[in-house]
Amino acid sequence: MNVSIICILFFAFLVGVIPTSFAEEEHDMFLWNKATWDSDYFIHFQVQVRDTNGSLVSVIETFNGEYLSDSRTELVYSELLLKQVVEISNKKYEVRQLGDLQRQTYGYTAGAYNVGFEIDGEYIAVFHAYPPMFLVENDDMITIQWMIFKKI
């Protein structure tokens, strides 16, 4: 009888420990940092929406973003177009820029936008931006612009 209680306790211990250890291992693989002025990177994300006539419909901006905290971030960042070096509050930042133009085929867009790279058929995001949801009409043109600041 004592053996069965010990087995049950051991099984309960394994069930409780294994998922925790896997979660810790996965968390260590992908450590995300909030992109703020106090962090290594800062993100400014902007979307311009234009109708089929080219008239400006809306502009959406956010500074709400994060970045992957490993060497892949610097790899992707170094591939972006260098725009300028600026000084803000006595701190120097290198500013790199990325733009994209898309024709919208559905009525809204929401969620995270990413900058990353593909390796061995797998896409790895290193920068995320989280703009608010915005509505668009079919065939609207969406211009996405990233400005990523890095402390130097």
Predicted confidence pLDDT, tens digits, the chain (152 residues): 444 544 444 444 444 444 444 444 444 466 899 999 989 999 999 999 899 899 999 999 999 999 998 888 998 999 999 999 999 989 999 999 998 877 766 666 666 788 988 888 888 899 999 998 877 888 888 889 999 999 99
Q: Residue 80 corresponds to which amino acid?
A: L
Structure tokens at 20: 């925790």
- Widest Cα–Cα separation across the chain: 80
User: Could you please report the per-residue DSSP string of 57-103?
Assistant: EEEEEE--EEEE-SHHHHHHHHHSEEEEEEEETTEEEEEEEEEEEEE
Report how far residue 123's alpha carbon sits from residue 115's, in angstroms, rounded to the nearest whole number. Answer: 10
Q: Which one-letter DSSP state was computed for residue 52?
A: T
Token pair 């061995």: residue: 120
pTM for the structure as a whole: 0.73
Token pair 């109708």: residue: 51
Residue 140 belongs to what H/E stretch? none
